[in-house]
Chain A
Amino acid sequence: MSALKIKNLTKTYANGFQALKGIDLDVDIGGFYSLLGPNGAGKTTAIGAVCSLVEITSGSIEIFNHDITVNSEAAKKHLGVVPQEVNFNTFDTPLNILVNQAGFYGIRRNIAMQRAKKYLGELKLWEKKDDIARSLSGGMKRRLMIARALMHEPQLLILDEPTAGVDIEIRRSMWQFLNDLNNDGTTIILTTHYLEEAENLCRNVAIIDDGLIIEDTLMSDLLRQLKQETFVLNIEEKSMKDLNLAGYNFIVRDEKTLEVVVDSEHGINELFDLLNSQNIKVVSLRNKSNRLEELFMKLIDAKNFDKKVTS
């Protein structure tokens, strides 16, 4: 059984725009999936279809073996959604928003109150429970939407850009929260534009572009496809005049900074050996850009190139 199984899903809007051109996706129970893609690729439409907010044109969607059109009540019970846009009643209080949401799932008020206390507490919103929701900060609103999605304790949680526009401190605390949730058994699907977020959190990745899934694999396998990585090395101050890094493309940025392109044939250990042999000590190193970002751009560029060639 899968947490989510999408088969040949298509969606054509009334104006003729084909947002989804036949996507297949199989999300294992307990998985942590990222669904990536450029703006307008079809991510939000796909999520909308899973939540039954978008009428599908053809194909099927099953949530924990329940088809969303045939057995929508059972399917919906398993699903929690955190949308991209703030969509709660901003004139209501966080406590009411959560308790009402639980009510829509048939959860009794006394249980709903306990859960609201739990999730508002865990997401550091308990102090704000009686404030008018519109007065909350952007980060608080995002956390409130996460708490709302958890009120019926779904087994599958879909988050559409949950950390968009929130500061790094809150983003990291949200990562920790989502990780804990996944470790407790909740299957999570995440869309994000922060590829570092996807790389850190997710074990699987699907890339959607122009209404089609162009990659669906393990995050580790995808990252292994990266044949070259550019590292930025901070080194102890030294003259680089006679630097010899045969087999590597490199740029000396200044007397303390070196940029080296490392391919999978040579590897980083060889580079360290070479630097050691010339008595150059590395203080620290980092990727010049996010690895997933590089791959993502390559895949999207390749797709666009194919499209141009075909046309």
Chain B
Amino acid sequence: MNISLNLIAFYTIVRKEVLRVIRIWIQTIVPPAITMTLYFVIFGNLIGTRIGVMGGYSYMQFIAPGIIMMSVITNSYGNVVSSFFGAKYGGHIDEMLISPMSNATIILGHIAGGVLRGLMVGGMVTIIALSFTNLELKFPLITFSMVLLSSIVFALAGFINALFAKKFDDIAIIPTFVITPLTYLGGVFYSINLLPEFWQSASKFNPILYMVNAFRYGILGTSDIQINYAYIVVITFVIILFSLSLILLNRGIGIRD
């Protein structure tokens, strides 16, 4: 494999993706900013003041990391699924498929694009959060590595969704029926210690719980789960989803006749 060729191709995809996010900022940046601001106002300010302390922190502080993580994962997923499916639908996916760049480069380029959008939106939501509450960064390395890995997991999931999608409805099904429920049940708004024992155990099958808690641990230093488990879960997902993406792309699933 020609490394120089693939590096330039990778840079080209990433640049294209970032410019796309910026070009349609009204669809990509503004909606999460408004939604997350509403979360902070309603759950943090109005309801949160009545809830009091959770995990040793004010409710606003407790939910802020989860809301930031929620915005990162939904935007990483959304960017890749819409961009790659759009390219499939418009036919310009062929521009990449007929080129000599490797399939791994196609995946990595789109994943990087999704991660960058996730981080852009996550950064903006963090700024919004800071206007509502104080957040200290207890463990920066854990915070950044976990947000990055989680973003990669969801960007890869978005890529796989786009490969299988045949129509625009198909790219909305997984976010609506899988990601949103898992996110809300993943400890963004509550500690799982509040749940009955059965539901605590059931929650541990939800990968988003590990992402949110590890990220919260990086910022606040509090978590419902062990951080090393979170890394094992998230890294396992990265490996499995990347391998699956590569196998599917090599086999031409959803993109070749």
Contacts and interface: CB of A to CB of B under 8 A. Distances in A.
B58 interface: no
Interface string A69-111: 0001110110101010111111000001000110111111000
Nearest to A89: B92
B27 interface: no
A75 to B, nearest CB: 8
A100 B8 contact: no
B94 A53 contact: yes
B90 A87 contact: yes
A100 B91 contact: no
A73 B9 contact: no
B237 to A, nearest CB: 29
B2 A76 contact: no
A100 B5 CA distance: 13
A22 interface: no
A87 B4 CA distance: 27
Given A53-B257, A76-B100, A106 B9 contact: yes
Contacts of B102: 73
Contacts of B99: 76, 101, 104-105
Contacts of A13: 257
Nearest to B4: A106
B257 A106 contact: no
Contact of A52 (B90, B92, B98): B98
B94 A55 contact: no
A107 B11 CA distance: 11
Interface in B3-20: 4-9, 11-13, 15-16, 19
Most buried by A among B6, B19, B87, B95: B95
A54 B98 CA distance: 11
B154 to A, nearest CB: 24
26 contacts: A13-B257, A51-B94, A52-B256, A53-B94, A55-B256, A73-B100, A74-B100, A76-B99, A77-B100, A86-B91, A87-B91, A88-B92, A90-B90, A96-B16, A100-B12, A100-B95, A101-B99, A104-B13, A104-B96, A105-B9, A105-B101, A106-B2, A106-B5, A106-B6, A106-B9, A108-B8
